[in-house]
DNA sequence: TCAATGATTGAG
DNA sequence: TCAATCATTGAG
């Protein structure tokens, strides 16, 4: 993907990431579910202020933001928008193409791909790449999952009827 | 320092 | 419905 793909509003990027192909080392997977996190979003890590953890969200789009949640799961985000604008897109689920693994949840897909906090801030386009994949038939936009604040915002996108989307 | 908590998951 | 489990955060 071109760098200008990432430097747009996270809602647009979240929508357009669906159906794209992740290539990391020898693994390939299609993105089937995403969530957008924007400025002035009560559910975003960067809602209140900049901290050591969320500082990569303030960088220019086209990087990874990875952090540990609940003490056991690495969640992977793609940083979006221009430098100084804290926003990102959480990758919630992918469809594995050339391997077998459970990937129907944000903590599971990072485990399956081998993504961890060491990848925080990594530039997309080297070891970790995103390529043009398929064109999703039907995209659903709905409310987000698992948040205590800001859960009412319809910032979640997924490919309709895909068996790999999260949430039971 | 220290206690609270969370963009989750799998088991009961 | 609940516990596992720990980096990050904000208060003391």
Backbone angles phi, psi at A56, to 5 degrees: -70, -20
Of A2, A1, A81, which Cα lies nearest the Cα of A65? Answer: A81
pTM recorded for the entire structure:
0.96
Nucleotides of B under 7 A from a protein CB: 5-10
Both tokens of residue A13?
Answer: 């990027």
Return the CATH architecture of domain A3-159.
Answer: Roll (3.10)
As a whole-number percent, the residues of chain A with pLDDT over 90 amount to 93
**Average of pLDDT values for A91-105?**
96
Q: How far is the CA of A143 from the C1' of B6 (A)?
A: 19
- Round and report the angstrom distance from CA (A167) to C1' (B10): 12
- Of all protein residues, which has its CA closest to the C1' atom of C5? A71
What is the average per-residue pLDDT within A129-143?
97
pLDDT per position as a tens digit, A1-49: 999 999 999 999 999 999 999 999 999 999 999 999 999 899 999 998 8
* Per-residue CA distances from A6 to A15, A16, A90, A109, A157 (Å): 12, 10, 13, 21, 17
């Amino acid at each position: 993907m071109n760098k200008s793909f990432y430097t747009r509003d996270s809602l647009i990027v979240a929508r357009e990431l669906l159906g794209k192909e992740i290539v990391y080392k020898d693994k390939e997977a299609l993105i089937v579910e995403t969530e957008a996190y924007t400025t002035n979003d009560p559910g975003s890590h960067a809602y209140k202020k900049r901290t050591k953890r969320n500082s990569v969200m303030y960088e220019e789009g086209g990087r990874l933001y990875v952090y540990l949640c609940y003490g056991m799961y690495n969640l992977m985000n793609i940083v979006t928008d221009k430098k100084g604008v804290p926003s990102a897109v959480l990758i919630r689920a992918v469809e594995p193409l050339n391997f077998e693994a459970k990937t129907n949840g944000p903590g599971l897909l990072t485990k399956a791909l081998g993504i961890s906090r060491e990848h925080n801030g990594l530039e997309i386009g080297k070891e970790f790449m995103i390529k043009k994949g398929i064109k999703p038939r039907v995209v659903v936009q709905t409310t987000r999952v698992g948040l205590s604040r800001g859960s009412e915002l319809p910032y979640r996108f997924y490919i309709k009827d895909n068996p790999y989307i999260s949430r039971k």
